[in-house]
Amino acid sequence: KAGVTQTPRYLIKTRGQQVTLSCSPISGHRSVSWYQQTPGQGLQFLFEYFSETQRNKGNFPGRFSGRQFSNSRSEMNVSTLELGDSALYLCASSSASGGYGGYTFGSGTRLTVV
């Protein structure tokens, strides 16, 4: 059974640009969540999608957005990048929404903003 796949693994962008990250969940999982991990703030919840609908959203500015497709694949977009957006972005999939089951995480996309 394939795991959660995140692409790309590494990304370097310039301040002011935008970026799109991709996540393919485990087959059959309809919930996809995104997390940001930084040394200072730790792991923080961005948003969760379930069956193409955003179910929950963390406390991040509107520059952070996402979507989910009918095949459950998800993309996360960050516009007008800031230096502070440099982080490891983790995607997690689950068969249930809302965290009632365990999550399977991808290896992450490490974004560096210069």
Residue 4 in the binding site for another protein (CB under 8 A): yes
Identify the CA nearest to 43 among candidates 33, 52, 54: 33
Question: DSSP letter at 60?
Answer: -
Q: What are phi and psi of 47, to 5 degrees?
A: -165, 165
Q: What are phi and psi of 77, to 5 degrees?
A: -120, 135
Single residue of 59, 62, 83, 114 touching another protein by CB under 8 A: 59
Single residue of 21, 76, 81, 92 touching another protein by CB under 8 A: 92
Which residues contact residue 99 at a Cβ distance below 8 angstroms, ignoring those fewer than 6 apart?
Answer: none
Stretch that binds another protein, among 15-23, 61-69, 76-84, 90-98 (CB under 8 A): 90-98
Tell the smallest beta-carbon distance from residue 16 to another protein (Å): 26
Site residues (vs another protein, CB under 8 A): 4, 33, 35, 37, 42-45, 47-48, 56, 58-59, 88, 90, 92, 97-108, 110
